[in-house]
Amino acid sequence: MRQGLFLAQKLLVSMGTSLEFRSPWNGEQRGTEFKFALQVQEGAAPPVANAITCNKDTIITFPQALHVLVVDDLSSNRLVLHRTLKRIIRPSVQCVQAASAEAAIEAAKERQFDVIFMDEILSVEEGALRGTDVTREIREIENSRTVIVACTGCADSFINEKGTDDSSSSKHAHHKFFDAGSDAVWGKPLPSHTDGSLQQEIMRLLKHKGASMDSLQ
């Protein structure tokens, strides 16, 4: 319950709103009331732009062919990330989903991805492979460097390998992801992206790691 509320609040904040709650506990009124307000546009959704304006001086244009692998054991998490990536990056994003560690490794063997979003807990079974195990395996078999972003409910924001998001202590708390070969860590389901900063970080990682995209300049 607690984890579900945590993820729901983070998702709502990324959409420009927040979760409100009230616990009456008076007489016959028991339990907790949750509510949120979300502005939506009536009718068909507006088209998604291929260029994202972060500020008046910065415009991000992602390449047409961007290949992404989303690894998470929960189909709801994969769906949210899949749809969000198509909306905040560009609709032509080619997104492959993997529900297990084994499926993720096989997918990485079959093709080269530009970005992999890797959940950490992929199974509750004892001895099951974790996301960090899969990351190490992919680093061993990849032909060219792939950007790997570790996704965890324990992170509050976007953490890059230099620890420039909040503090060096934040990076230290998630050192296991970087030791395994991750390029960044972000909180689930995903950090706020309404101001374009998340898109900037993804593009920076792609350029820095030399992801295999012919149209990326």
Domains of the chain, first to last: 1-40 (no CATH), 55-209 (3.40.50.2300)
Q: What are phi and psi of 170, to 5 degrees?
A: -65, -45
Q: What is the pLDDT along the chain (217 residues), one digit of tens a residue?
A: 556 777 777 777 777 788 787 776 555 666 777 788 877 766 555 444 444 444 444 556 666 678 999 999 999 889 888 888 888 777 788 899 999 999 999 999 999 999 999 999 898 888 899 999 999 999 999 888 899 999 877 655 555 554 444 444 445 557 888 899 998 888 776 666 666 777 778 888 888 765 444 444 4
Residue 44, pLDDT score: 54
Closest by CA position to 8, among listed 43, 18, 69: 18
Q: Which amino acid is at 71?
A: V
Residue 47, pLDDT score: 47
Buried (b) or exposed (e) across 167-176, using 16+ Cβ within 10 A? Answer: eeebbebbeb
Cβ-based neighbours of 23, under 8 Å, separated by 6 or more: 31, 32, 33
Between helix 131-141 and helix 101-110 the angle, nearest 10°, is 20
Residue 154, pLDDT score: 64
Half-sphere exposure of 141 (CA within 13 A, CB side): 16
CA 1 to chain centroid, in Å, comes to: 21
Closest by CA position to 84, among listed 11, 153, 17, 185: 11
Residue 166, pLDDT score: 46
